[in-house]
Amino acid sequence: MTLPLPLIRESFLQARALWVVVFLLTAWPAQAQEIKLEAENATRNGVTVGNSLAGYSGTGYVQGFDNSFAKNVTFTVNAPAAGIYDLAIRYATPSGEKGYALEINGQRTEGMFSNVPGFATAQAGKQYLNAGTNTLVIGGSWGYYYIDFIALTPATIPLPAKPPKTLTDANATTSTKNLFSYLVDLYGTKVLAGQQENNLLQEIDYVREQTGKDPAIGVYDLIDYSPSRLQYGANPNNHSENAITWAKKDQGRGIISLMWHWNAPTDLINQSPDKLWWSGFYTRATTFDLAAALADKNGANYQLLLRDMDAIALELKKFQAQDIPVLWRPLHEAAGAWFWWGAKGAAPFKELWQIMHDRFTNHHQLHNLIWVYTAEPNKQDWYPGDAYVDIVGIDIYENSATASNHSAQWTELQTLFNGKKLVTLSETGNLPNVEYIKSFGTWWSWFAVWTGPDYIRKQPIPLLQSVFTHPDVITLDELPNWRTYGTLTGLALEEASGGLRIFPNPSANGKLTVEMTATSARATTFILLTSTGKKVASVKQKLQEGQNVVQIPVQQLPAGVYVLLVQQGKERFTRRVILQK
């Protein structure tokens, strides 16, 4: 996790279902134009106008920002219509990468400015504006930057593209493939609820007590299995076994995510107040040099890296022995450099990730892992590579008084990974606003709130209840039997069905037609499922060689996103279907 930050209070945006919002926001009048506002003409608080850096627009730019939000520039934005707009900020960062805070009509979020020469444009995500006057404030966070102008244009809200159902481990277990298939099918329609667990605090029990629901994903930390912690007497308290017990709840449908705050293998400083042995995963608490260890593959420190990985592999094998797939999220937040595995830069981190992937997959034959990489804004050079990553996550701890729509972070990750990888909110200090997820289209695969009194236990109980009972949030009791759900076992069938066409899709007239080209006569079943795996329609038909037409009855079904499962014997594949009324 990152630095502790105050609680974000929920501020719901009233919005309709996503497809309604998409329709409204793609129906902007043809004359709708960009709104561009120069910073030097805005209201300034503790900042000044400069013109020494070439390349600015207008008559100058605003400078003098620091870490205080009291130093800011306030824009008055007159919007021709209420709706969601794309926000671009023209900026410069003379002293390296910086962070900024943004507040629109009292709703606050945060973002990053990359370190680029001269002026550049940051895409600050999608923002909701009222018709008429709106107030937009930029300032604070951390850094010294210049603001040249802002620009807003009416936005469209696309659904995220689904990535291929192909894991980096070609030998992944059937259950692991099935879980990933379910995650891909669900992506862009619902969000899975997750919760970081703590043996002492028992956070999942707390969520259940307050909401009557278990999260769909239990997130556990293998921190105390680090050999250097065990050497000082750390007690894991059967954390792995507790996770396995929870995963077997509700007919074994609980989804497990594991992370590892890896205590440095050696060279712990072990000095008070903030460098004690138990904080040895922090850069400040160890002198362990990852780059040096990797440079000498025969050296003692490299062997200690392998020793530690082997110790964690033993824990992961406990899950594999119980046929439990794991959303495996190691080496998180590396680009922040506050953990030792990121302290020496991108290259050593990527090498360590790739070594771990190879050692776990090939040396230890662990085939129950779905590899989740935690990205940092504007840090593309830290990405280990498509061959080593299955899902991309982001950890967000925003210092905000109101709920953020997280659109800026979502937009950045979609720019890099849309159609390639699932994107998830792997760690958050606060519950997300589900109405924002719907209206801004930030369809994280899942979210997981951090543990402790400053995080999940500080969420208002009505908010906690509303999120865990929201129809667009999937909890444990709503999970399908993902072990057999939507498995891509029929790759040859899908390739042979390249002529499959579903129309109309989106469907708005209560009729759904499937055209499918068959290479030979064969009995085929077409099953329509809800996003949670409930079967709502089924048609069996013997296809003839050549083109076939199949009618799926959908007149009585409510509007929403569905999954069409096409099955021939043991072979199957899926397609997404959208019904509108």
Q: Which of 2-11, 92-101, 348-357 has the lowest mean pLDDT?
A: 2-11
Residues 481, 246: Cα–Cα separation, whole Å: 16
| Tokens standing for residue 231 | 């050497």
Residues 121, 550: Cα–Cα separation, whole Å: 49
Mean local confidence (pLDDT), 560-577 = 79
The pLDDT value given to residue 365: 97
Query: How far is C-alpha 45 from the chain's CA centre?
Result: 35
Residues 372, 218: Cα–Cα separation, whole Å: 15
Q: Which of 93-102, 235-244, 496-505, 562-571 has the lowest mean pLDDT?
A: 496-505
Tell me which of 427, 435, 478, 571 is the catalytic residue.
Answer: 427
515 catalytic per annotation: no
How, if at all, do strands 83-92 and 119-129 pair? antiparallel
- For 513, residues 6+ apart whose C-beta sits below 8 A from its C-beta are 502, 503, 504, 549, 550, 551, 552
CATH number of 491-579: 2.60.40.2550
Residues 256, 194: Cα–Cα separation, whole Å: 9
Residues 95, 339: Cα–Cα separation, whole Å: 23
- Helices then strands (H, E): number in the chain? 13, 27
Mean local confidence (pLDDT), 104-108 = 89
Mean local confidence (pLDDT), 457-477 = 94
The pLDDT value given to residue 26: 36
Q: Which of 223-232, 271-280, 449-458, 543-552 has the lowest mean pLDDT?
A: 543-552
pLDDT digits (tens, 9 = 90+) for 327-383: 999 999 999 999 999 999 999 999 999 999 999 999 999 999 999 999 987 789 999
Mean local confidence (pLDDT), 473-501 = 69
Contact criterion met (CB below 8 Å) for 350 and 290: no
Tell me which of 103, 333, 398, 435 is the catalytic residue.
Answer: 333
Q: Counting beta carbons within 10 angstroms of the beta carbon of residue 257, is it exposed (0 to 12), middle (13 to 18) or buried (19 or more)?
A: buried
Percent of the chain with pLDDT over 70: 90
Residues 431, 213: Cα–Cα separation, whole Å: 15
Give the class (CATH, top level) of 175-478: alpha beta
Q: Where are the domains of the chain?
A: 27-154, 175-478, 491-579
**Over 60: is that where the pLDDT of 492 sits?**
no
435 catalytic per annotation: no
pLDDT digits (tens, 9 = 90+) for 195-252: 999 989 999 999 999 999 999 999 999 999 999 999 999 999 999 999 999 999 888 9
| Tokens standing for residue 436 | 């924002």
**Over 60: is that where the pLDDT of 496 sits?**
no
Q: Which of 88-102, 197-211, 248-262, 509-523 has the lowest mean pLDDT?
A: 509-523
Q: Which of 230-234, 304-308, 493-497, 520-524 has the lowest mean pLDDT?
A: 493-497
The pLDDT value given to residue 497: 54
| Tokens standing for residue 406 | 């997280």
pLDDT digits (tens, 9 = 90+) for 22-39: 333 333 443 458 999 999
HEC secondary structure over 335-395? HHCCEHHHCCCHHHHHHHHHHHHHHHHHHCCCCCEEEEEEECCCCHHHCCCHHHCCEEEEE
Contact criterion met (CB below 8 Å) for 194 and 215: yes
Residues 209, 199: Cα–Cα separation, whole Å: 16
Judged by DSSP in three states, 135 sits in strand
Contact criterion met (CB below 8 Å) for 259 and 221: yes
Q: Which of 114-118, 342-346, 427-431 has the lowest mean pLDDT?
A: 114-118
Q: What H or E segment, with its residue span, contains residue 464?
A: helix 461-468
Fold (topology level) of 27-154: Jelly Rolls (2.60.120)
Q: Counting beta carbons within 10 angstroms of the beta carbon of residue 39, is it exposed (0 to 12), middle (13 to 18) or buried (19 or more)?
A: buried
The pLDDT value given to residue 196: 98
